[in-house]
Amino acid sequence: MKIAVLFGGPSPERDVSIASGAQVVRSLRADGHDTLAVDISSGVLGREEEDRLFQATLSGTPPPCGKGASVLSTLSRVIAELPDVDLYFLALHGVPGEDGSIQAVLDLAGLRYTGSGMKGSAVAMDKDLSKRLFRLAGIPTPDWSLLSSPTAGACPLPCPVVVKPNNQGSTIGLTVVRDPALFAGAVAEAFRYDNEVIVEGFVPGREFTVGILDDAPLSVGEIVPQLGEIFNYESKYKPGGAKEIFPAGLSEAKTLELKELALAAHRALKLKGYSRVDFMLDGDGRFWCLEANTLPGMTATSLLPQSAGAVGIDFTALCRKICASAQRP
């Protein structure tokens, strides 16, 4: 099969996307596929440029935002240049890519691609809309307030709160605010990355994640940050930044409860193919859904591959299953 792997782009999550793209490209080639590496900011990469890009290592801080104006023209050119591609594998993170924009273009072109469709991708990327749907589906999620102006005023919820961009991933622009005097600064930081900001009640406790594949939950994992109290960008991508335990040390009953909640969240947002859903477990033993990720990290040590690996699905098999479940025009 001829597969084009899309990654990169102008998002602050560009470096993470490149790392995911590199791992997917290597795996698909080893599995016998004719695989093309495509940076949506520049186009199809030659082997020399590909090697240079894929050899870069992730730093503990996100790269600056790039300009996204060329993404549509680049993707349109790639589609025209590659009429015989059977499948587009999306290894994109952030905006555009995870917000439904790329999916809409591929839908209009009648092309097959991996992951959720335009509607589910757009809704899942919007934290405010996601949380509204979680509530309607009976899935517990922390209280929140949406800000549409950087003129913050007083904090709308009792501290501590989490302040974060409404449409962003990898905890970019996220701050835990314990002192109301620091609220305005946290809001200003979050507005650097989006034109809407979420203020969410902070849930102290243990953090868990559940991979979803083919409408079924994979292994539950526990995330134990080592560089601070939350699983932030530095904890995610610096070596030793967190302990990730698969399967998590939960009772059978709590494991089943969490898997059911994760699948309910996946379905509530009308997601397809695969996803990863994140939760907190508070001191009273109650789970709180934080968000669903439609295009979770795909490096060998990312959480979704670990969740799959714990139930006997290695990285190559995971890529095969993702390809098999791809969206059809």
Catalytic hit among 120, 169, 276, 307: 276
Catalytic hit among 8, 9, 11, 13: 13
Q: Give CA 298 to chain center in angstroms.
A: 10
The CA dihedral of 120, 124, 128, 130, to the nearest 10 degrees, is 70
Question: Angle, nearest 10°, between helix axes 71-81 and 101-108?
Answer: 30
**Can you read off the two tokens belonging to residue 279?**
């939760």
Catalytic hit among 189, 273, 291, 302: 291
Check: CB of residue 159 under 8 Å from CB of residue 176: no
Run of H or E residues at 219: strand 216-225
13 a catalytic residue: yes
What b/e string do you get for 40-55 counting C-beta neighbours within 10 Å, with b at 16 or more? bbebbbeeeebeebbe
Catalytic hit among 222, 297, 307, 309: 297
**Can you read off the two tokens belonging to residue 219?**
């292994």
Q: Is 262 exposed, middle or buried (0-12, 13-18, 19+ CB in 10 A)?
A: buried
278 a catalytic residue: yes
Residue type present at position 37: A
CB count in 10 Å sphere of residue 121: 27
Catalytic hit among 200, 222, 234, 278: 278
200 a catalytic residue: no
CB count in 10 Å sphere of residue 281: 19
Catalytic hit among 116, 170, 275, 302: 170
314 a catalytic residue: no
237 a catalytic residue: yes
Catalytic hit among 11, 41, 293, 302: 293
214 a catalytic residue: no
Catalytic hit among 88, 233, 237, 274: 237
| CA atoms of 296 and 302, how far apart (whole Å) | 8
Rounded to a whole number of angstroms, the distance between the first and last alpha carbons of the chain is: 17
Check: CB of residue 118 under 8 Å from CB of residue 34: no
Kindly list the catalytic residues: 13, 170, 237, 276, 278, 291, 293, 297
